[in-house]
């Protein structure tokens, strides 16, 4: 990780800033175009999808700030960080329309599932997969 003059990792700092800016832009989009999101059912579902992006960007921003403050090995937990960001995104989408809030929850859970898969593949190098356990058992039987 590249560090700047202050000794902080630049990657987390830049990612936190960009994610925070994107969160604010998405929130502003939901607020300014609320009438358009209410104009049809498909637009209302799209509003929930955009609200889920608010969740993902705010979680990314919060997680990167925590990694800057508490160290590289710090990870977001369900109760404080993920639930807080989900509530913020659902409230922002709920201001537009109630269906936006519902679809925001569904899309956010789906997005969180894929983010967790990517995170586990990238950061959990020590975790054993089913294939390696299975191949180790078969190697022991062959010896």
Angstrom distances, CA of residue 122 to CA of 78, 107, 132? 19, 22, 17
Whether the Cβ atoms of residue 4 and residue 13 lie closer than 8 Å to each other: yes
The pLDDT of residue 78 is: 87
The pLDDT of residue 57 is: 98
The pLDDT of residue 40 is: 97
The pLDDT of residue 62 is: 96
Helix crossing, 83-96 with 98-123: angle to 10°? 150
Q: CB-based contacts of 89: which residues, under 8 Å, 6+ apart?
A: 51, 52, 54, 55, 58, 104, 108
pTM exceeding the 0.95 threshold for the entire prediction: no
> pLDDT tier at 74 (50, 70, 90 boundaries)?
confident
Residue 51 pLDDT greater than 80, yes or no: yes
- The rounded distance, in Å, linking the Cα atoms of 32 and 23 is 14
The pLDDT of residue 46 is: 97
Residue 86 pLDDT greater than 90, yes or no: yes
> pLDDT tier at 92 (50, 70, 90 boundaries)?
very high
The pLDDT of residue 75 is: 82
What is the average pLDDT score of the chain?
87
> pLDDT tier at 132 (50, 70, 90 boundaries)?
low
Residue 12 pLDDT greater than 60, yes or no: yes
């Amino acid at each position: 990780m590249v560090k700047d003059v202050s000794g902080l990792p630049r990657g987390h700092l830049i990612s936190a800033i960009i994610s925070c800016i994107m969160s604010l832009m998405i929130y502003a989009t939901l607020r300014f175009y609320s009438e358009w999101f209410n104009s049809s059912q498909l637009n209302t579902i799209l509003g929930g999808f955009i609200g889920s992006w608010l969740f993902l960007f705010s979680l990314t921003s919060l997680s990167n700030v925590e990694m800057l403050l508490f160290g590289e090995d710090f990870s977001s937990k369900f109760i404080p960080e993920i639930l807080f960001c989900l509530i913020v995104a659902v409230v922002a989408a709920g201001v537009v329309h109630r269906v936006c809030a519902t679809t925001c929850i569904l899309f956010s859970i789906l997005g969180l599932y894929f983010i967790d898969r990517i995170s586990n593949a990238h950061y959990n190098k020590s975790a054993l997969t089913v294939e390696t356990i299975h191949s180790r058992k078969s190697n022991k039987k062959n010896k």
